[in-house]
Amino acid sequence: MNSVTKKKTPQGNVLSRRFYDRDTVLVARDLLGKLIVVERNERRIARIVETEAYVAGDPANHAFRGQTKRNRSMFKGPGTLYVYAVHAQNCMNAVTRLGEAVLVRAAQPVENVSERTSGPGLLCRAMGITREDDGKSLLQSEISIRDDRYSPVSIVSSPRIGVTKWKDRHLRFFVSDNPSSHCE
């Protein structure tokens, strides 16, 4: 094998640090249609159909008041996986710039995913992602997000779900042709 060759797989190219090191709202939009790939005992794949952006100066952002024990992964650099628990559920985020992240709310099953994947808690359960995975790198670990050149047909934005602050801001994005995405 040529070691210089870029890593390519049938699931597409692993998104680079450069992809995450951009405006968080752009990253949230661009993550739609990308593949979450978890390679453990079996390989599980799902395609992202719903995201939310949590940005600087955002009162709903866990990093709003700076770094804490919970959100320390949000300060480890672009492409870090941030997993937190709320209401006994796990939620997965992709860290973009310092103290900013994109919550992945829903995906479509592609391979070895039998449980439901609509909703951040259910998605993590179906993909087997836990708080053990908090702080891992999406650039080089068993969990990655990849681009297989698929593009969603159309993207819609709305206020975020379950968030009381910044309700006037459209920071949620979802693929509108996906049947499991409810509108607003």
Partner DNA sequence: CTTCAGATCCCCT
Partner DNA sequence: GGGGATCTGAAGA
The residue ranges that bind DNA (CB under 7 A) are 52, 54, 60-63, 65, 68-71, 82, 84-89, 91, 93, 101, 103, 116, 119-123, 160-164
- Amino acid identity at 83: V
State how far the Cα of 106 lies from the Cα of 46, in Å rounded to an integer: 9
Pick 67 or 112: Cβ nearer DNA? 67
State how far the Cα of 20 lies from the Cα of 105, in Å rounded to an integer: 17
28 close to 104: Cβ distance less than 8 angstroms: no
The helix or strand, by DSSP H or E, that contains position 110, with its residue range, turns out to be strand 101-111
DSSP code of residue 183: P
155 close to 175: Cβ distance less than 8 angstroms: yes
State how far the Cα of 118 lies from the Cα of 59, in Å rounded to an integer: 25
State how far the Cα of 180 lies from the Cα of 118, in Å rounded to an integer: 7
Pick 111 or 162: Cβ nearer DNA? 162
Pick 31 or 101: Cβ nearer DNA? 101
CB 75, min distance to DNA, A:
12
CB 72, min distance to DNA, A:
8
